[in-house]
Homo-oligomer: A and B are copies of this chain.
Amino acid sequence: MVNSNGKFTDRAIPEPTLRRLPIYQNYLKKLMEKGVEFTSCTQLSEALKFLPIQIRKDLAFTGIIGKPKVGYEVKELLETIENFLGWNNTNEAFLVGVGNLGTALMSYQGFKTCGLEIIAAFDINPDKVGTEINGKKVLDIGKLGNLIKRMKILIGIITVPGDFAQKVADIMIENGIKAIWNFAPVRINVPEGVIVQHENIASSFTVLSKKLQKSLSRE
């Protein structure tokens, strides 16, 4: 799955597995801090409420194999997951749109461990330009294209209102961004070869709301 250069090869990893790996990583770090040396699928299952078989399958994707009766060495498992996720490489990103959500993302502590570093943000509002959030500068949107090119930034995060999202995406792509994380409530079009991930908060709520309806209708 991961070849000798640590590059990701073609065996498809289910997205739910990818989303759970950071949850294991986070929990394993806590075990490390507590000085716990070994863990098992059963113990992980109790702590994280995933099925043991699911955990075994998820971890197998990273290439690690548990030892019978012993389970996994915490340190080895943690390192294997982090290598697998590529969290030892830093992913530098620019963020555009310093509203509440943009500010929340810039201040989010959880990104440190997963190797995402928002190195600067951009906004159109002169009151925001020149300020700092979490130690990162807010720059004028006019400088976005040029800085992407000069700094060879590959990841762009969009937190502008819907009406401006496509325009920001176009500037990003034109200057070399290869992956866009879009939080604006509209879908943006990108050419082939550019990855876009839409975060639709209302969609997430739908899942919760539907489960609640179902649970209430059972009572």
* A interface list, Cβ under 8 A from B: 7-10, 13, 15, 18-23, 26-27, 48-49, 85-86, 91, 99-101, 103-105, 107-111, 113-116, 154-155, 178-179, 181, 185, 187, 189, 193, 195, 197, 199-217
Q: Among the listed B23, B100, B185, B210, which residue makes an inter-chain contact with A187, where contact means beta carbons less than 8 Å apart?
A: B23
Question: Would B197 and A109 count as touching, CB distance under 8 A?
Answer: no
The 14 listed contacts between A and B (C-beta, < 8 Å) are A18-B206, A20-B203, A23-B203, A49-B189, A85-B209, A108-B201, A111-B202, A113-B202, A155-B208, A155-B209, A193-B215, A195-B212, A197-B204, A197-B211
A213 shortest CB reach to chain B, Å: 5
Instruction: Give 3 nearest A-B pairs by CB, closest first.
Output: A100-B104, A101-B104, A19-B203
Chain B neighbourhood of A7, CB < 8 A: 213, 217
**CA of A19 to CA of B16, assembled, Å:** 14
Question: Would A204 and B209 count as touching, CB distance under 8 A?
Answer: no
Chain B neighbourhood of A209, CB < 8 A: 85-86, 91, 114-116, 155, 179
A63 shortest CB reach to chain B, Å: 15
* A190, closest chain B residue (CB): B49
Chain B neighbourhood of A202, CB < 8 A: 22, 26, 110-111, 113-114, 116
Question: Would A197 and B206 count as touching, CB distance under 8 A?
Answer: no
* A215, closest chain B residue (CB): B195
Question: Would A23 and B103 count as touching, CB distance under 8 A?
Answer: no
* A116, closest chain B residue (CB): B205
**CA of A185 to CA of B105, assembled, Å:** 13
**CA of A155 to CA of B8, assembled, Å:** 40
A19 in contact with B195 given A85-B209, A210-B85 (CB within 8 Å)? no
Question: Would A212 and B19 count as touching, CB distance under 8 A?
Answer: no
Chain B neighbourhood of A21, CB < 8 A: 203, 206
